[in-house]
A and B are shown apart, each in its own frame.
Chain A
Amino acid sequence: MSSTEQGTSSAAPAEPTTAPESAAAPEVPESFYYVHGKDKVVHKVSAGALQHSALIHGMISNLGYTEEQAKANPFPFENIDGDILQMVVDWCNQHKGKPTPPEDTNLPKQKEKLFDLVLAVNYLEIKELLTYCCKQVAMMVKGKSPEEIREIWMIPTDAEDEAAEKEAKKRAGKEAAGETAAAAGDAK
């Protein structure tokens, strides 16, 4: 601290000072947990960061793992792609203990990745990130015509939908008939 600053601070009226945090409470070492996705790559994440996920937070509260147990038993999320889980972990780390801003521009712009992220975030119950992701999905179609939306999101037309349904019914009927015939053959 410079002498000028010292002078200023001493001249200022005495304000009530709060005791430094370390003096009030001894620092508790942060606990870490481990998660892995479909690719089995294990990510080490602090309990603070994982608090964003209601699902994992609930699991942690129920399990009462020690650090060793947590290391030996990473939470498996086989339904989430490795890089999507990486994105989620990064977001949780970035926003650990911080109030979430109204906008988040760091989300993926590619639609397929974004939809995978939405599904993962919904599964992991990360409310704030889900809000951002849904906003991003909504932004994808901003100013687009119905035809453009259909193309971007690969939405089948009603006619295509009906044709696919008919085809599926036909196939199911054929399969059922085949099974009945096979069963009759077996009975003979």
Chain B
Amino acid sequence: MASTIENLAKMTENLSIEPVYNTNWCDMPEELKRECIGKMGFDERLALRFTAKTERSLVNSENFMFHDGGFYMHGNHDYIPASWCIYLTLDKENQTKKNYKNTNDGERVKSDFEFIKFIWGVGVFETFSISCDLSFMEELNYTGKITAKNVVIAEWCRID
């Protein structure tokens, strides 16, 4: 009996020497999470956005440098459901490109719009090209800024 207790005492002693790690992402303060997000690539940020609300708002608040980006709408938003696409070039050297199109799914319009707002909100573009009409912009209701060194607006674009 005594030896069992002694063994147990020894075991607990050894256990207490081994550090216990309970720290994880959720235990990190916001500022450090931001610092880590700042080091993430675009795909990782997109994935992290879909994990939870808190993570989404953190990713939404961290800028991302794009070499260039474009938003192009095809068709007239007043009369027919317009289709649109976003073109992004992540870095100039590797010319890593990403293209996103709208889903043409009425139920997903809200999430599509949210995605456009996310890209425009976090993006810091070397060149940003835009081609869409006023009614689309009104429906999108984007009130933020677009940060770009150069902006190219299509001639037919009725945006003031």
A-to-B contact residues, CB < 8 Å: 81-84, 110-113, 115-116, 118-119, 122, 130-131, 134-135, 137-138, 141-146, 149-150, 153-158, 161
Contacts and interface: CB of A to CB of B under 8 A. Distances in A.
- Interface of chain A, main secondary structure: helix
27 contacts: A81-B19, A84-B19, A113-B21, A115-B21, A115-B25, A115-B27, A116-B23, A118-B36, A122-B29, A122-B32, A130-B35, A134-B36, A137-B36, A138-B36, A138-B37, A138-B39, A141-B44, A143-B43, A144-B47, A145-B47, A146-B48, A149-B51, A150-B52, A154-B25, A156-B26, A158-B53, A161-B53
Contacts of A145: 47
Contacts, number: 88
B113 interface: no
Contact of A115 (B19, B24, B40): B24
Interface string B12-23: 000000010111
Interface residues of B, number: 29
Interface string B30-59: 001001111111011001111111110000
Given A83-B19, A111-B24, A119-B32, A137 B39 contact: yes
A156 B52 contact: yes
B28 interface: yes
